[in-house]
Chain A
Amino acid sequence: MTDRTTTAPPVLDVRDVTVRFAGLTALDGVSFTVAPGSVHALIGPNGAGKSTCFNVLSGLCRPAAGTVTLGGTELTRLAPHRIAALGVARTFQNIVTTHGTVADNLMLGRHALSRAGFAASALRLPSAVREQREHLARAREIAGLTGLAHHFDTPVALLSYGDRKRVELARALCLEPRVLLLDEPVAGMNAAERARTAEVVGELRAGLGLSVVLVEHDMGLVMRLADDVTVLDFGRPIAHGTPDEVRRDPEVLRAYLGTDATGEDAA
């Protein structure tokens, strides 16, 4: 796992991905490239296909056409757990934590990096016990990094909304990811929590050099963090570029604000 963090993350390349749900085209020929170590934002109005795109990247949804490659490895044929093992971690728009404490959740994030099987764990073989201790120490470190240190042994159900969102982030980080997919990491947070999360993401990128794909409605955060932005509307990519370029793009303005009252699209 150490070699993962020292070498630069591989390029994540999304090519012409199309997803259809029974006649509805959720993604229509979406392409973008996430440069190693960059923050790539995926924005668009509700229903634009951002979360579907994440589901394709993490293997939960198989595209009808197109490819996703991570440093040359094709991801679209792999099961979610294999993609996770390659170092792609994600958070969910709606918090999806499991029962138990923060520690339990973070240790779940260590699953792909640890080996102890049923027999070794049941018999509490020294190797399994040692492995668990090492991973617990790393999980505690990551909890500290994300501001959860004092909640490490607290049941997740007792945490505030913002803290639960942070548990998801920390759990994803426990995979020691090379590519981190963040689905609305600050949705529903207050200003202070937003600032803190933005700070953490910035630190991660600087400290660990991982690539981040970010879906977010908070434009302030997107403009501050992102190197590149891809804008989706009704499953189609409509713009591409740096935050500043995208902000001035007339197509983007149309998608977000609608056309003038005379435009036929508004009807």
Chain B
Amino acid sequence: MSDRLPAALTRRRASLPLLAVALCLPPFYLDAFWLRIGLFSMAAAIGAVGLALLSGTAGQLSLGHAFFLAVGAYGYAWLAGEPGPGLPPALAALLAVLLAGAAGGLFSPVAARVKGVYLGIATLALVFLGHHVLLTADSVTGGFNGRSVPPLTLGGFAFARSDPEPTVLGVPFGAEERLWYLGLALFAFTWFTARGLLRSRPGRALAALRDSETAASVMGVDVARHRSAAFVVSSMYAGLAGVLLALAFRRVVPDYFSLALSVDYLAMIVIGGLGSVAGATAGAVFVTALPLLMTRYADQLPLVTAPGSAEGAVGPTEAARYLYGAAIVLVLLYAPDGLHGLARRARDRVRRRRSRAPAPDAVVPPPSQPTAARTKEHTP
């Protein structure tokens, strides 16, 4: 198909380096608060992409995403830290992701047989089980108080504060600045791999499973194997997100990895638009950034009070939850394909208007082809 879309594709190829440069700039201009929002958003986006693959593409509901995030976060903290094996942090991070995948694999006898909403109920058990283990297995998890997360080091470079803070172009590079680039790299890796998956053999097989199990199986798709593989892959993305979250928080506590977190991830992929990588990212940014921004600007917002100020008042976190609850309702009512679908339609409209106007350099693609290409990447 690539040979058919010269204009649209070259435009996209040209905008990619620009986007990359733009994403590298924030550490030079924004303070730690904004960088932390970005960092949490990137971590959430990685996890949301994993869930989008499972729920959006393969049609398997999971409420157990928080469990696999916890496996990644605690796995890293334990593998790299004291008490624990104290492995080199980079190796520990890799193993933590594999550990999350293995945890998903252990659940795959269930994940391969149970479908759709029923899997959602089955995975609910994982969250409660995980939470219980985190609270009770003191020696590994640190119990209720959690444990601190050792910083990641790569070839002598630590993604944490160091005492004489090095400056790059006059900007001091603390933990947030450094972690930003780590997050960016992991996020880029996630996009690259997830889009590769969606546009090739396994992605098509998963989408076929969601649309019609019967058709998929007579076309040669091993239903059980693909269902469990989707679950494992989704768990690995969750594990990676967990590692990054742990590094950003610098401390992991059990209460963070609750059912509410799983629901947050579902909210991300619904708001963003099911089954698309871009949608999952947009949803992740929305759901992550909103409560943080509302906390920061609580004093300037009507009806919202600073955290813990007065009884009966709406705190910023609750207000953010109301807002994205409302966002989910609005999305389901008016834009079932989420933010991604809205953006796509807006882009269509702009392009149609542009193609009606005289073409600047006569390489306007015939309208049917870009439509087809866009529908391909978006599998609702």
Chain A contacts to B: CB under 8 angstroms: 58-60, 79-81, 83-85, 89-90, 92, 96-101, 103-104, 107-114, 116-118, 121-124, 128, 132, 136, 153-155, 171, 175
Say if the beta carbon of B220 comes within 8 Å of chain A.
yes
From A59, A92, A100, A155, residue with most partner B Cβ within 10 Å? A100
Q: Is the CB of A81 within 8 A of B223?
A: yes
Whole-angstrom distance between the alpha carbons of A55 and B371 in the complex? 36
Whole-angstrom distance between the alpha carbons of A124 and B205 in the complex? 17
Report B-chain residues with C-beta under 8 Å of the C-beta of A101.
Answer: 372, 375-376
Q: Is the CB of B218 within 8 A of A116?
A: no
Say if the beta carbon of B139 comes within 8 Å of chain A.
no
Q: Is the CB of A96 within 8 A of B214?
A: yes
Interface residues on chain B, size class: 35 or more
Q: Could you tell me the distance in whole angstroms from the C-beta of B201 to the nearest C-beta in chain A?
A: 5
Closest residue of A by beta carbon distance from B377: A100
Whole-angstrom distance between the alpha carbons of A111 and B197 in the complex? 14
Q: Tell whether A121 pairs with B200 under 8 Å between CB atoms, given A136-B1, A153-B372.
A: yes
Q: Tell whether A100 pairs with B375 under 8 Å between CB atoms, given A108-B216, A111-B205, A122-B194.
A: yes
Whole-angstrom distance between the alpha carbons of A76 and B330 in the complex? 49
Q: Tell whether A111 pairs with B196 under 8 Å between CB atoms, given A81-B220, A103-B1, A153-B4.
A: no
Q: Is the CB of B215 within 8 A of A175?
A: no
Closest residue of A by beta carbon distance from B203: A121
Report B-chain residues with C-beta under 8 Å of the C-beta of A98.
Answer: 204, 207-208, 211-212, 215-216
Q: Is the CB of B219 within 8 A of A171?
A: yes
Q: Could you tell me the distance in whole angstroms from the C-beta of A187 to the nearest C-beta in chain B?
A: 17
* Segment 218-241 of B: residues with Cβ below 8 Å from A: 218-223, 229, 233
Q: Tell whether A96 pairs with B215 under 8 Å between CB atoms, given A118-B229, A121-B201, A153-B372.
A: yes
Residue in A60, A112, A123, A124 whose beta carbon sits within 8 Å of that of B220 in the complex: A112
From A96, A109, A113, A122, residue with most partner B Cβ within 10 Å? A122
Q: Is the CB of B196 within 8 A of A122?
A: yes
Can you name 7 A-B residue pairings with CB atoms under 8 Å? A79-B222, A81-B222, A83-B218, A85-B220, A100-B376, A117-B201, A155-B372
Whole-angstrom distance between the alpha carbons of A59 and B219 in the complex? 12
Whole-angstrom distance between the alpha carbons of A89 and B217 in the complex? 11
Say if the beta carbon of B341 comes within 8 Å of chain A.
no
Q: Could you tell me the distance in whole angstroms from the C-beta of B118 to the nearest C-beta in chain A?
A: 21
Q: Could you tell me the distance in whole angstroms from the C-beta of A83 to the nearest C-beta in chain B?
A: 8
Q: A111-B220, A154-B368 provided; 7 other pairs, C-beta below 8 A?
A: A98-B208, A104-B204, A109-B219, A116-B201, A118-B197, A132-B200, A155-B371
Say if the beta carbon of B186 comes within 8 Å of chain A.
no
Residue in A112, A118, A136, A153 whose beta carbon sits within 8 Å of that of B202 in the complex: A118
Q: Could you tell me the distance in whole angstroms from the C-beta of A57 to the nearest C-beta in chain B?
A: 10
Q: Is the CB of B202 within 8 A of A121?
A: yes
Residue in B202, B217, B371 whose beta carbon sits within 8 Å of that of A116 in the complex: B202
Q: Tell whether A122 pairs with B197 under 8 Å between CB atoms, given A81-B217, A84-B220.
A: yes
Q: Could you tell me the distance in whole angstroms from the C-beta of A246 to the nearest C-beta in chain B?
A: 28
Q: Could you tell me the distance in whole angstroms from the C-beta of A168 to the nearest C-beta in chain B?
A: 9
Q: Could you tell me the distance in whole angstroms from the C-beta of A152 to the nearest C-beta in chain B?
A: 8
Report A-chain residues with C-beta under 8 Å of the C-beta of B373.
Answer: 153
Q: Is the CB of A132 within 8 A of B375?
A: no
Say if the beta carbon of B369 comes within 8 Å of chain A.
yes
Q: Is the CB of B196 within 8 A of A154?
A: no
Whole-angstrom distance between the alpha carbons of A83 and B205 in the complex? 17
Report A-chain residues with C-beta under 8 Å of the C-beta of B130.
Answer: none
Whole-angstrom distance between the alpha carbons of A249 and B196 in the complex? 58
Closest residue of B by beta carbon distance from A102: B372
Say if the beta carbon of B192 comes within 8 Å of chain A.
yes
Q: Is the CB of B192 within 8 A of A108?
A: no
Whole-angstrom distance between the alpha carbons of A81 and B193 in the complex? 26
Report B-chain residues with C-beta under 8 Å of the C-beta of A108.
Answer: 204-205, 208, 215-216, 219, 221
Q: Could you tell me the distance in whole angstroms from the C-beta of B111 to the nearest C-beta in chain A?
A: 14
Closest residue of B by beta carbon distance from A111: B220
Q: Is the CB of B205 within 8 A of A104?
A: no
